[in-house]
């Protein structure tokens, strides 16, 4: 065990495994940390949730690899010149207005500047080894100055003011790119990002799916809360597994997928949010020949990891839909989980033989139902591993 420690207001804080955690200590100035200058071998320093206004007093920590200053009152990036071995820098939730003072940090792999007051992306050109960067929740309207960041793999611009995707052509190693909550009207400027696997474009003003033809490695495309009215422009995306859409996409449009057997969607999953509330995942391979709009009222999810459906019946209306479409639903494929829980207006179920239509059930939840004994059909489910019974209304 190391005996190295620092003092803050007379209290000792010890170094553990080359890491020093000084978060939540009401520190206003780093210079208040007595003995910090003696920790030449320190690798990780956590100063989150303090009241620090300026980065200073770190010159002696030349071996530092991780520095966290989340949720302070920092307005400018300074005092990092000597930290040439720094790999992770976290500055979320501060008051930083511009990116500066990073020119010597050529070994930086991760940079977090979420929830600041940035209006520009300039000042990053020296970070040629950067792999991950989060610039979410700022006031950035245009992407510039990223040309040298050719090793970037993950980049997030969530909740900014970006209207156009530009300045990313050289970032050909990008795997994940996020623009949730911006003002983008058209998908373009992504042609060279052929390694991209995850693209998040929710909450924008996009009206048409275009500009994705070269992104053949894309597995996850999220376009919820836009103004898209037609599903097209996805024919080359042979690896796509998840397409997230919601209103105003109609369920009729989803049914067009099943009419295209040559579609690259054949083995994929489409997530559709009904009325913006309940998300339903459809395994397209399962549903393309069985698609039925009557299922829109059910909370039906398809899980690729288990190749099975999870079904939740939570309202009287859903129970009626379930009863009317029982055979159709059971024929969709394997079901591993069924939940019957009614907070209001519970039905009185007298015939439980429907359970036998789901012989692969592994999990069953029964709640808020009038019962005087367990249905005998439960004991015929040979794969059942987990039964949850709660708040029964004893008759």
> Cα separation of 135 and 118, whole Å?
8
The 3 state secondary structure assigned to 342-356 is CCCCCCCCCCCHHHH
More confident residue, 235 or 12: 12
Rounded to two decimals, the pTM is: 0.67
Are 258 and 291 within 8 A, CB to CB? yes
pLDDT digits (tens, 9 = 90+) for 266-284: 333 444 433 333 334 443 3
> Cα separation of 269 and 49, whole Å?
41
Count of other CB atoms within 10 angstroms of residue 196: 25
Confidence of residue 123 (pLDDT cuts 50, 70, 90): very high
Are 89 and 110 within 8 A, CB to CB? yes
Are 103 and 128 within 8 A, CB to CB? no
> Cα separation of 314 and 321, whole Å?
11
Question: How far from each other are the two terminal CA atoms of the chain, in whole angstroms?
Answer: 63
Query: How high is the pLDDT of residue 299?
Result: 54
Q: What burial letters (b/e) apply to 269-303, b meaning 16+ CB within 10 Å?
A: bbbbbeeeebebbbbbebbbeebeeebebbbbbbe
The CA-based diameter of the chain, rounded to the nearest angstrom, is 75
- The three-class DSSP label of residue 119 is coil
User: What is the rounded average pLDDT for all residues in the chain?
Assistant: 81
Residue ranges in the chain assigned as alpha helix (H): 251-258, 284-287, 316-324, 326-330
Confidence of residue 347 (pLDDT cuts 50, 70, 90): confident
Q: Which two tokens stand for residue 132?
A: 């991950």
Residue ranges in 103-250 assigned as alpha helix (H): none
> Cα separation of 137 and 93, whole Å?
9
């Amino acid at each position: 065990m190391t005996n190295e420690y620092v003092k803050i207001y007379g209290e000792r804080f010890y170094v553990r495994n080359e890491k020093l955690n000084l978060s939540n200590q009401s520190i206003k100035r780093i210079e208040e940390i007595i003995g910090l200058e003696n920790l030449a071998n320190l690798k990780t320093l956590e100063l989150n949730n303090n009241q620090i206004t300026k980065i200073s007093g770190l010159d002696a920590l030349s071996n530092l690899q991780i520095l966290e200053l989340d949720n302070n009152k920092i307005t400018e990036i300074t005092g990092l010149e000597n930290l040439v071995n720094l790999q992770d820098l976290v500055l979320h939730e501060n008051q930083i207005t511009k990116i500066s003072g990073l020119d010597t940090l050529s070994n930086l792999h991760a940079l977090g500047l979420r929830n600041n007051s940035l209006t520009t992306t300039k000042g990053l050109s020296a970070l040629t080894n950067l792999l991950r960067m989060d610039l979410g929740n700022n006031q950035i309207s245009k992407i510039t100055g990223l040309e040298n960041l050719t090793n970037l793999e993950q980049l997030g611009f969530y909740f900014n003011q970006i209207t156009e995707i530009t300045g990313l052509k050289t970032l050909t190693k990008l795997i994940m790119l996020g623009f949730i909550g911006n003002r983008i009207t058209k998908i373009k400027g992504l042609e060279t990002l052929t390694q991209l696997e995850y693209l998040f474009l929710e909450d924008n003003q996009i009206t048409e799916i275009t500009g994705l033809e070269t992104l053949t490695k894309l597995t996850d495309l999220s376009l919820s809360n836009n103004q898209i009215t037609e599903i097209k422009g996805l024919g080359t995306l042979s690896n796509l597994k998840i397409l997230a859409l919601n209103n105003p996409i109609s369920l009729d449009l989803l049914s067009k997928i099943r009419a295209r057997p040559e579609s690259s969607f054949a083995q994929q999953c489409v997530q559709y949010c009904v009325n913006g509330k309940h998300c339903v995942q459809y395994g397209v391979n399962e549903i393309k020949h069985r698609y039925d709009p009557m299922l829109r009222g059910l909370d039906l999810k398809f899980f690729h990891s288990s190749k099975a459906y999870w079904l939740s019946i939570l309202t009287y209306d859903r129970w009626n839909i379930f009863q009317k479409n029982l055979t159709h639903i059971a024929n969709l494929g394997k079901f591993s989980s069924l939940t019957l829980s009614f907070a209001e207006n519970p039905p009185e179920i007298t015939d439980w033989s429907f359970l036998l239509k789901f012989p692969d059930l592994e999990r069953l939840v029964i709640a808020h139902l009038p019962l005087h004994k367990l249905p005998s059909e439960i004991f015929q489910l040979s794969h059942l591993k987990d039964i949850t019974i709660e708040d029964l209304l004893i008759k």
